[in-house]
Structure formats: C-alpha cells, structure tokens
Amino acid sequence: MMTNTGNRITQGQFSFLPDLTDAQITAQIKYALKNGWAVSVEYTDDPHPRNTYWEMYGNPMFDLKDPAGILMEIDECRKTFPNHYVRVMAFNSARGIESPAMSFIVNRPENEPGFGLTRQEGPGRQVRYTVTSYAAQKPEGERYS
Amino acid sequence: MSESTIDLKAIWNESGVQAVLDKLDAELIGLAPVKKRIREIASLLVVDKVRRDMQLAAGAPSLHMSFTGNPGTGKTTVALRMADLLHRLGYSRTGHLVAVTRDDLVGQYIGHTAPKTKEVLKKAMGGVLFIDEAYYLYKPENERDYGQEAIEILLQVMENNRDDLVVILAGYKDRMETFFRSNPGMSSRIAHHIDFPDYTDGELVSIGELILKDWNYTLAPRAKKVFLSYIEHRRTQPHFANARSIRNALDRARLRQARRLLDEGTAVDKAALETIEAEDILESRVLAGVPAATPPKKERA
C-alpha cells in the first residue's frame, strides 16, 4: 500500500519493523505470559486487512510458564505452512476485557505481491474503492507457492 | 581471559544452593545416599558453570533423572527441591514442577496422544516434568497401546529441548528397571539414576514427629514407644508406604485423640489438646493382635 514499501502487509504489532528474530519473539511471549495471557498461533494465506479471523494452529495454550513451548509450536506451524502468514496472539481472558491483547506476525511468505486498488464509478461523482490482494486471486493453499 | 583464580566456594554460596541443601537436610530425614547424590549433582553444575565462564568446553550437562524407590520414600518432595535447586543454578528458567502420570500423557484413541503429551510438555517447559509411575507408559502386553507414542515424543523433546526442560521419571525400582530395559533410548538419555532407600523404624518415628510438629501436636513419651512398635508391625503388613503410611496413621491418631477428649468430657488445657497419648495409637487396628499392646476398649479403628 501507499506508505508501505515492499508490499509487506502490516497487521498487528511490529509489522512495520523488520521480521522479529526468535529471541525477540521469545521476549514478547515472555511479556504475554507474565501478564497471564493465553498465547495461540494462527495462520492464513489471505492477506486482506479485513481478514481478522485466521485459522488456529492447535488450541490456545493456557497455563504455560515459559516461552519455549510456544516457540516450539511456532516452529511447527512454520514448518507446516512455510509460505503462509503465521501470527502469535495473546488473549487476555480477564472479565470485561476478553479480547486479544497482542498480535504479531512471525512468518511471512517469501514473495508478497501486494494489493491492487479497484475504483468503481458510482452515481454522480461517487467512487467506491476496493482493495484486492493479487495473491488471493489464486485458490486457497496455492497462493504463495 | 586472564589467568585468574576463582573462588568456587564463593560461587557456591552466591548461588543459594546451600540454602536448598540445608532445607533438604532439615526437612527430609534419612535418605543419606539421595542427599549425597544431589550434592554431587549440585557441585557438578556449579563447576560446570565456572568452566563455561572460563570458556572451557563443557557440553550442556544432561540433567534428566530417574528416581526409584518404594512408595512414600520422598521422591516427589525431592523432585520439588530439585526444581528449586536447578532454578537457583540457572539450569531451569522458571523452577516450577509439573507432576503427571500416564493419564495426563496418553490419549484414549488414535491421534489423541500426541497433542496431549505435547500440551503437558509445553506446560513443563522452563521447569521440571515429573512423571510418576513412569513404567505405566510402556505396556508390552498390548501392542496397540498408545504409551509408546508418548514415549517417542518424550524422547524427542528430551533430546532437542535439553536446555528448556528437565524430565524426572519416578517409580518402583524393579518395574522401572524393566521399563528401562525395554526402552533403551530412554535409559541412555537419563544421566542420573537415584535410588531412594526405605526408611528405618527410627527414621519413621522422627518423620512422624516432624509431621506432628507441623500440625502443632506432640507425642507423649509413652506414645513414642508405642508408635515405634506400631511402625514395626505396620511394616509387615501389605501396602506399607513409608512416610505416607506414617502420615495416615497420625491422621487417624488425631481423630482418636479428638474423640477421646470429647468422651472424657472434662475441661481440657492446651497441653491436652496438643498431646497424642499412647492409647490414641494403641487403638489402631495394626496393633489389635499384639498381646503386649491390647487396647483398653475393644473398638476397631
């Protein structure tokens, strides 16, 4: 998109930064665990910004004490879906909040083709804009192979 | 690095290991060989740490252990202390202990075991995984048993995540030996085999007194003698579980003491409330057939 050179999608935390290293991911997860949030791993190959519900990779992990277990899960997800987007979510289950507290991408496809902008002329001078991912034009599972 | 000397003793003191070992000495009676072995392991870890600081090659020590011994000999308690010890020495990041048995690791149908085992392993990461009665994982009589799958995942993690997790297997000695014989992979990945001896009668009395002190009770002088003979007889009976049996016996003695105090119906003082008398123990079923110690009232406990 306009401000985002290199077509890298920007969703969640840290997405304008270079990819996080494993050590940095570990530090982030440590923070989540310190706050008592349940961490889960999710993946998708539909990069549209409005695609908020990604597929869960395994169950959310409750009652963990150490990030090593989650890193193991992340690595497994990366191995299974090397060309998908993989993100880590931390869910705050405190009553009244009950929503994701953190979300950041830990794996991206090698080649992100980016988005096209379609302008639709409406009645009068109205213009409707649609963002379409070039990758999503292919069927699911073949988008980044 | 310069040719300097390092005060090992200072590092030992600094790590706070001595505090754990002292606590072990104070709170656990007997178990001399176990304590000696733990001290050795602690020393090795301290020296290893120093060697690493001096850039001497020291392969990450394998810390997986196996605790064998009869029931009630303190395996779980020692495992708990071990987690604390490893944490203080920096070999375990969180120092928490996750105690599991076969049920927590092995699933009930195909495809259920791997996620279940992995979930437990993930919970134990950074700490110590204590598998009680580990030999139940392997059931040779049923070739379709899912225990084998759990063992394989366990082995893989024990090897790959050696820095993240310490596994302690526990169980009866003979059955653990069979287990290790049929799983050579497991045996070779466990560096420390520690055997927990049975307690002597005298040690069990001391343990009993320690438990009572915790509960704010004391044994009357005559009760102590009776208790010793109780232990002698209890030992010959089936299902004797060392310290656990003692604990249960004292629990029952406490019940009888309460009933006795109510039956007597007189005013009680603090001393009466906290003293376990000989008859509280004498009434036990264990001593029922003993001529020298027949209870005054023919009641079963």
User: pLDDT at residue A128 above 70?
Assistant: yes
Q: What is the mean pLDDT of residues B286-298?
A: 57
User: What's the pLDDT tens digit per position in B249-273?
Assistant: 999 999 999 999 998 887 888 888 8
Torsion angles phi and psi, residue B63, rounded to 5: -115, 0
pTM exceeding the 0.90 threshold for the entire prediction? no
pLDDT at residue number A1: 46
Residue of B115, B119, B127 with shortest CB distance to A66? B127
Residue A22 near chain B (CB below 8 Å):
no
Evaluate whether B231 touches B201 at the Cβ level (below 8 Å).
yes
Q: What is the mean pLDDT of residues B9-22?
A: 82
User: pLDDT at residue A9 above 80?
Assistant: yes
- The residue of A61, A65, A74, A77 whose CB has the most chain B CBs within 10 angstroms, and thus the best one to mutate to test that interface, is A65
Torsion angles phi and psi, residue A72, rounded to 5: -60, -45
pLDDT at residue number B290: 63
Contact (CB<8Å) B122/A72:
yes
pLDDT at residue number A23: 95
Residue carrying structure tokens 């997860």: A29
C-alpha distance from B126 to closest chain A C-alpha (Å): 5
Residue A34 near chain B (CB below 8 Å):
no
Closest to B83 measured CA to CA, from B66, B68, B98: B98
- What whole-number distance in Å separates Cα of residue B27 and Cα of residue B22? 8
Residue of B115, B119, B125 with shortest CB distance to A66? B125
DSSP A65: -
Q: What is the 3-state secondary structure (H, E, C) of B64-115?
A: CEEEEECCCCCHHHHHHHHHHHHHHCCCCCCCCEEEECHHHHCCCCCCCHHH
Q: What percent of chain B has pLDDT over 70?
A: 94
pLDDT at residue number B295: 47
Taking CB atoms and an 8 Å cut-off, how many pairs form between chains A and B? 41
Residue of A63, A66, A70 with shortest CB distance to B93? A66
Contact (CB<8Å) B121/A69:
yes
Contact (CB<8Å) A64/B115:
no
Contact (CB<8Å) B164/A68:
yes
C-alpha distance from B89 to closest chain A C-alpha (Å): 17
C-alpha distance from A122 to closest chain B C-alpha (Å): 53
Domains of chain A: 22-111 (3.30.190.10)
Residue A70 near chain B (CB below 8 Å):
yes
User: pLDDT at residue B293 above 90?
Assistant: no
User: pLDDT at residue B291 above 60?
Assistant: no
pLDDT at residue number A98: 94
User: What's the pLDDT tens digit per position in A48-68?
Assistant: 888 989 999 988 998 899 999
pLDDT at residue number B50: 83
pLDDT at residue number A129: 94
Residue carrying structure tokens 């927590």: B104
